[in-house]
A = this chain, B = another copy of it.
Amino acid sequence: MTDTRDLFSQHNLRCTAQRLALYETLAERHDHPTAEELYRIAKSRTEKLSLATVYNTLDALCMVGLVRKLPTTNGSCRYDADTSIHPHIRYRDTDEIEDVPEKLGAKLLELVPDEMIEQIESELNIHVTGMNFQIIAQRH
């Protein structure tokens, strides 16, 4: 798949083995690994890789908008290669984040917050304890 190389070129990013491996690893997943997790997973794909490069790369990818950094409450951020607006489930105990299954996720975007909670609880086998929604903005 030479697709990623095109994508990188369009954003003036050099196509290094490390960056390709990192982006492709991230894009495959529907959970949202931390930098450390991504490092371990991607390391099996590319011979040489350091944690510093993981941070550098994720930062570069965020800058051009190919990756989104997801906030957590435990100090270790998580990353998502799907930059569209879509709902996440964050587990209270571990701070793990995962996508709402695609079909349900699309449905939620048509609902108001209270209805979302109802839907989630009735469709998935989880107990919703809260909801955090942040509008990300730029002052001007």
Contact = CB atoms under 8 A, between A and B. Distances in A.
A55 to B, nearest CB: 12
A17 interface: no
Contacts of A1: none
Contacts of A109: 112-114
Contacts of A117: 135
B73 A71 contact: yes
Contact of A140 (B85, B110, B114, B126): B126
A70 B130 CA distance: 11
Size range of the chain A interface in the assembly = 35 or more
Contacts of A71: 71-73, 90, 132
Candidate in A69, A75, A85, A113 with the most chain B CB atoms within 10 angstroms: A113
Interface of A: 68-73, 75-77, 83, 85, 87-93, 97, 100, 109-114, 116-117, 120, 125-140
26 contacts: A68-B130, A70-B132, A71-B71, A71-B90, A71-B132, A75-B76, A75-B77, A85-B130, A88-B132, A88-B135, A89-B136, A90-B135, A90-B137, A91-B136, A100-B135, A109-B113, A116-B135, A120-B135, A126-B139, A127-B137, A129-B136, A129-B137, A130-B136, A131-B136, A132-B132, A132-B134
